[in-house]
């Protein structure tokens, strides 16, 4: 097992990375006491891992209140969130009752939002079960639900007490989900860690084969990048926005197609290609740079062309994004591979042209 720290003063917390963490009660004992623990999970994850987690916590004298929600992005709604609150209230959970979110990004986001809201805050633990949630959504404290007009538009910043990144939980992850997670891994190389990008170009086949050493390295390097950015800018006032490379376009794809039609990582990959082509139009990337990015996404099994929603529809959906500032789109672009930049000065005609160039 290896560990690293998200440094946020009195709200700092560790990320533990390795195999078999779910069975190690010593990793839970600092955060749970004898009594009750709420576990928010979904219908896919519960049959796989809930019994193992229950067994570990029972050794600490802890009983579990499982809250099992439907699986899928389309269930990331007020209605599902209210079923979590219903369970907490019926069980007379208290402010100090820990809530564990065990699942992918949807479960982590909803479980974290519930923990942030219930009695104005209860202890929160992340156990991510997908590659995407391991390297991105479980770290940094962003929690939210979707709205029909925009993804993740209703939520709160709420940090966990610990993230337990058990690589073994990825063994049951479908290939499509695993590949979707690689979009967020590749993102770190594109925005700030060029040496990591070089490593990914050399080792993408090892990751696709799920070699343990390669997966642990990629997860740790990704989490270290995320932790550094979050420590510098917890609430996304500046540099943290760079983590959204491809996301403004990607969120438009997810909303426009209907939540769950494309996986988040798939939308981010094709959204990143739009951002790369836009960066090229602005003179910041060469055509060779764009092709290099395209090739890596193709090798990772990710889409590099976006669905044809129409440029006007993209812009309409993007204007509901959280990155809009003063009525202008604030886009994450690339001034070079490994160097992200934020800009709210891009003309709509250039954005539209990049979208058209990127659509099937």
- Helix-helix angle 311-318:247-257, to 10 degrees: 110
Q: Which residues pair with 163 in a beta bridge?
A: 15, 126
184 in active site = yes
Place of tokens 């642990």: 216
320 in active site = no
Catalytic site residue from 236, 322, 323, 330: 236
Q: Quickly list H helices, the chain.
A: 25-28, 51-58, 78-90, 105-117, 131-132, 175-191, 194-208, 212-232, 247-257, 264-281, 287-299, 311-318, 348-358
Catalytic site residue from 179, 187, 264, 323: 264
C-alpha 92/C-alpha 70 separation (Å) is: 23
236 in active site = yes
179 in active site = no
Q: Is 346 helix (H, G, I), strand (E, B) or coil?
A: coil
16 in active site = no
Q: How far is CA 184 from the centre of its chain?
A: 8
Token pair belonging to 353: 């042209």
13-18/2-6 β-pairing? antiparallel
244 in active site = yes
Catalytic site residue from 151, 179, 187, 251: 251
96 in active site = no
Catalytic site residue from 244, 266, 277, 281: 244
Catalytic site residue from 42, 73, 76, 142: 142
Catalytic site residue from 187, 226, 277, 330: 226
Q: Any idea what DSSP says for residue 63?
A: E
Catalytic site residue from 73, 184, 234, 254: 184
Q: Is 239 helix (H, G, I), strand (E, B) or coil?
A: helix
Catalytic site residue from 76, 240, 281, 322: 240
C-alpha 216/C-alpha 212 separation (Å) is: 6
Catalytic site residue from 90, 92, 120, 202: 120
C-alpha 97/C-alpha 32 separation (Å) is: 8
Among all residues, which ones are annotated catalytic? 120, 142, 184, 226, 236, 240, 244, 247, 251, 264
């Amino acid at each position: 097992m290896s560990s690293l720290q998200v440094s946020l003063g009195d709200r700092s917390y560790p990320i533990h990375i390795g195999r078999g963490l779910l069975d190690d009660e010593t990793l839970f004992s600092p955060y749970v006491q004898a009594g009750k623990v709420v576990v928010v999970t979904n219908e896919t994850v519960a049959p796989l891992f809930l019994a193992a987690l229950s067994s570990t916590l029972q050794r600490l004298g802890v009983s579990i209140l499982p809250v099992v929600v439907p699986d899928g992005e389309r269930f990331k709604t007020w209605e599902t969130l209210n079923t979590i609150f219903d369970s907490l209230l019926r069980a007379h959970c208290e402010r100090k009752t820990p809530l564990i979110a065990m699942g992918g990004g949807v479960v982590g986001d909803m479980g974290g939002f519930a923990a942030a809201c219930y009695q104005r805050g209860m202890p929160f633990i992340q156990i991510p079960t997908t590659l995407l949630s391991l390297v991105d959504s479980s770290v940094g404290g962003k929690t939210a639900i979707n709205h029909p007009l925009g993804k993740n538009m209703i939520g709160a910043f709420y940090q966990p007490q610990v993230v337990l990144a058990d690589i073994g939980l990825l063994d049951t992850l479908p290939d499509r989900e695993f590949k979707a997670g690689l979009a967020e891994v590749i993102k770190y190389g594109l925005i700030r860690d060029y040496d990591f990008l070089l490593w990914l170009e050399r080792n993408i086949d090892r990751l696709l084969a799920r070699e343990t050493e390669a997966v642990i390295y990629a997860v740790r390097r990704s989490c270290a990048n995320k932790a550094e950015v979050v420590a510098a800018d917890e609430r996304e006032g500046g540099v943290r926005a760079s983590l959204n490379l491809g996301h403004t376009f990607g969120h438009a794809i997810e909303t426009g197609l209907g939540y769950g039609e494309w996986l988040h990582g798939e939308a981010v990959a094709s959204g990143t290609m739009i951002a790369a082509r836009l960066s090229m139009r602005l003179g910041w990337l060469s055509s060779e740079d764009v092709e290099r990015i395209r090739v890596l996404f193709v090798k990772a099994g990710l889409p590099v062309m976006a669905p044809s929603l129409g440029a006007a529809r993209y812009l309409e959906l993007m204007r509901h994004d959280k990155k809009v500032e003063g009525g202008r789109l604030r886009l994450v672009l690339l001034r070079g591979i490994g160097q992200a930049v934020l800009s709210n000065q891009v003309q709509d005609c250039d954005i539209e042209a990049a979208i058209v160039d990127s659509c099937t």
